[in-house]
Amino acid sequence: MLLDWFGHTAQGVIITNTIMVALTVLLFWLFYGLVFRIFKRASNRVLGEDSRVRPLRIQKQEILSAQEVSRILNGTFLVISWLLRIYIVLAFVNTILALFDWSRDAAETLASRFADVVGRIFGAIIEYLPDLFTALVIVAIAYGVLKLFRLVFEGIERQRIKLPHFYPEWSRTSYSLIRLLVVALALVVVFPYLPGSESPAFQGVSIFFGVLLSLGSTSAVANVVAGIVITYTRAFKVGDWVSVAGAEGKIFERTAFVTRIRTAKNVEISVPNSAVMSDKVINFSSQARNVGIALHTGVTIGYDVPWPRVQKLLLEAAAKTDQIETEPAPFVLQTALEDNYVAYELNAFTKNAGLRPKIYSELHANILDAFHGAGVEITSPHYRAVRDGNTPAIAQVMTPEPGEETKPDD
């Protein structure tokens, strides 16, 4: 239009170019100087250290934390900022095109199409508002229910809330199951209110992903179900020392799919929950926390040694071993009367199941010292002795002085 006012004179061309330059400067000022700075400052106010955003509460119950409210506000600011930038760019392009006769029709077409698209989007949004409001109400109710259940089960896990016959270690699994059910129910209820939910293409894609998920998750579902069964049977919990599926060690993590064990060699083993459920579980820690678990080891001694003396030596060795409990007291059993020797079994209790290999090693060393120091031969497991005056096969008990190394006899 401006060219109609000024004509095709040189003065008109100069004025037109001046207007283009001014519009370009205005574009950059609006794009970077105004919109960018304003929304950047607003984002910093929301996410910065000096943020004054407060959590959303209903009385004393926190519905949304301050961090969640800040993220929602920042996302809203970002969407509005980009919408304004797109509008400014389109308005600039349309105005530039309208300055010239050869592009004026394109400018009018662009403006009409843009107005038509915006009108359709705005009309669709207005038409969708009732369904959107219904979907938001359903999501809000589901979110509130999940918040309530999470608070309850956190209280049970921390033993602030106690329910009869409901154990604290069940709380996480129970909350996960309830969360899955609530989310699935919310999706089923919200699905009809989603845009395009009645479209055959949308329904076909949904069926395709459902079939794909069901075919590819057979083993995953088996592991999840096994994990649930393991939880409610209370076979073990995190921190227990167990033996399962050929692995022995401490349970340091249990997920929906696998149980992770750290062995005494500090090796981490991941065992699928289905393998755990299909095998027997030996829990060394369940009784160790109360009265302790029994460690047992055996020796065979010749008939020439009185059994009270053997029992005394074994009990002395147990008394010198660390991590062996005095109550219940260690005891000795005569388990067999063989052809050439008597089989004895020492039983002692410990409350530290994770140190069983170390305790066994120290206990065996103390047994060797006790019997060798008393001049008693250990004829385990098979030993042939000729009683013709030869020297008994008894090693010398060595007690090194502090700071000195023990050297074998020549």
pLDDT cut 70: percent of the chain above it = 71
Task: From 266, 283, 300, give the residue that closes a domain.
Answer: 283
Residue of higher predicted confidence among 248 and 105: 248
Question: 361 and 231, same structural domain?
Answer: no
Question: 342 and 274, same structural domain?
Answer: no
Answer yes or no: is 340 within a domain.
Answer: yes
Question: 306 and 274, same structural domain?
Answer: no
Asked if the model's pLDDT at residue 15 lies above 70, the reply is: no
Which of 40-54, 100-114, 143-157 has maximum average pLDDT?
143-157
Question: 142 and 18, same structural domain?
Answer: yes
Task: From 100, 122, 148, give the residue that closes a domain.
Answer: 148
Answer yes or no: is 387 within a domain.
Answer: no
Residue 410 confidence (pLDDT)? 39
Answer yes or no: is 310 within a domain.
Answer: yes
Query: In 12-133, which ranges are E strands?
Result: 56-58, 61-64
Question: 231 and 305, same structural domain?
Answer: no
Average pLDDT, the chain: 76
- Do the beta carbons of residue 233 and residue 218 sit within 8 Å? no
Residue 5 confidence (pLDDT)? 45
Average pLDDT (338-347) is 89
Answer yes or no: is 47 within a domain.
Answer: yes
Average pLDDT (80-86) is 76
Question: 303 and 271, same structural domain?
Answer: no
What's the CATH number where 262 sits?
2.30.30.60
Question: 143 and 7, same structural domain?
Answer: yes
Q: Give tens-digit pLDDT for 257-289.
A: 888 898 888 888 888 888 888 888 888 887 777
Torsion region of 279: left, alpha or beta (phi above 0 gives left; psi -120 to 50 gives alpha)? beta
Residue 353 confidence (pLDDT)? 81
Question: 58 and 107, same structural domain?
Answer: yes
Answer yes or no: is 346 within a domain.
Answer: yes
Question: 335 and 250, same structural domain?
Answer: no
What length is written for the chain?
410
Distance CA 138, CA 156 (A): 27
Q: Give tens-digit pLDDT for 372-391.
A: 888 888 876 565 655 555 66
Number of structural domains found in the chain: 3
Q: For the CA atoms of 281, 282, 288, 290, what is the dihedral angle to 10 degrees?
A: 50
Average pLDDT (179-194) is 83
Residue 50 token pair:
């000096």
Answer yes or no: is 201 within a domain.
Answer: no
**pLDDT tier at 310 (50, 70, 90 boundaries)?**
very high
Core vs surface per residue 1-33: b (16+ CB within 10 A) or e: eebeeeeeeeeeeeeeeeeeeeeeeebeebeee
- Residue 246, domain extent: 223-283
**pLDDT tier at 367 (50, 70, 90 boundaries)?**
very high
Question: 116 and 230, same structural domain?
Answer: no
Check whether the bond before 164 is cis (ω within 30° of 0): no
Check whether the bond before 381 is cis (ω within 30° of 0): yes
Question: 275 and 354, same structural domain?
Answer: no
Average pLDDT (27-40) is 67
Answer yes or no: is 179 within a domain.
Answer: no
What's the CATH number where 350 sits?
3.30.70.100
Answer yes or no: is 407 within a domain.
Answer: no
**pLDDT tier at 12 (50, 70, 90 boundaries)?**
low
Task: From 148, 168, 200, give the residue that closes a domain.
Answer: 148
Q: Give tens-digit pLDDT for 295-305.
A: 999 998 888 88
Asked if the model's pLDDT at residue 407 lies above 60, the reply is: no
Question: 248 and 292, same structural domain?
Answer: no
